[in-house]
Amino acid sequence: MNYAHRFHAGNFADVHKHLVLTALLMRLSEKPSPWFYLDTHAGEGLYPLANLSPQGRNEFESGVAPIFQAPIDNPVVRTYQALLHRFNPEATLACYPGSPLVAAALARTGDRLVATEWVPERAQTLRGNLARGPVNVHCRDGYEALGAFLPPREQRGVILIDPPYESMRETEPLLRALSRALARFPHGIYLIWHPGVDPAFVSGLRRKLQTLGDVTFLDWQTSRRQGLRGSGLAVFNLPHGLAARLDQVWQSLGGIYATTLGPVEFVQTESPKKRMTGRIRKMLP
Asked if the model's pLDDT at residue 5 lies above 70, the reply is no
pLDDT in tens, 187-198: 999 999 999 888
pLDDT at 276: 40
* 130 vs 136: CA distance, rounded Å: 9
Cite the active site residues. Answer: 162
Class of domain 14-46+99-283: alpha beta
Which residue type, as a one-letter code, is found at position 245? R
First to last CA, the chain: 51
pLDDT of residue 262: 78
- In the chain, where the domains are located: 14-46+99-283
pLDDT tens digit sequence for 22-67: 999 999 999 999 999 999 999 999 999 976 555 546 889 999 999 9
**Is the bond preceding residue 151 a cis peptide, omega within 30 degrees?**
yes
- The beta-carbon contacts of 57-63 under 8 Å, at least 24 apart in sequence, are 59/8, 59/9, 59/10, 59/11, 59/12, 59/228, 60/9, 60/10, 60/11, 60/93, 60/96, 61/260, 62/11, 62/12, 62/257, 62/260, 62/261, 63/10, 63/11, 63/12, 63/13, 63/14, 63/15
Determine which of 149-153, 174-178, 228-232, 261-265 has the lowest per-residue pLDDT on average.
Answer: 261-265
Mean pLDDT of the chain: 89
Q: Which of 51-65, 79-93, 250-264 has the highest mean pLDDT?
A: 79-93
- The pLDDT assigned to 50 comes to 78
Q: What is the pLDDT of residue 196?
A: 87
Q: Tell me the CB-side half-sphere exposure of residue 57, using CA atoms within 13 A.
A: 9
Whole-number pLDDT of residue 148? 97
Identify the band that residue 2 occupies on the pLDDT scale cut at 50, 70 and 90: very low
Q: What is the total residue count of the chain?
A: 285
Residue 275: band (very low, low, confident or very high) from pLDDT cuts 50, 70, 90: low
Nearest to 223 by CA among 257, 249, 269: 257
- Residue 175 confidence (pLDDT) above 80: yes
pLDDT range class, residue 278, cuts 50, 70, 90: very low
pLDDT higher for 184 or 229? Answer: 184
CA distance 58 to 50: 7
State residue 100's pLDDT score. Answer: 96
Flag whether pLDDT at 280 surpasses 50: no
Question: For residue range 197-255, what is the model confidence (pLDDT) as tens digits?
Answer: 888 889 999 999 999 999 999 999 988 777 788 999 999 999 999 999 999 999 999 78
Which has the closest alpha carbon to 137: 99, 185, 166, 194?
99
Confidence category of residue 179, pLDDT binned at 50, 70, 90: very high
Residues 202 and 194: their CA atoms lie apart, in Å, by 8
The one-letter code for the residue type at 184 is R
Binning pLDDT at 50, 70 and 90, where does residue 114 land? Answer: very high
> Do the Cβ atoms of 145 and 116 come closer than 8 Å?
yes
Model confidence at 283, in pLDDT bands (50, 70, 90)? very low
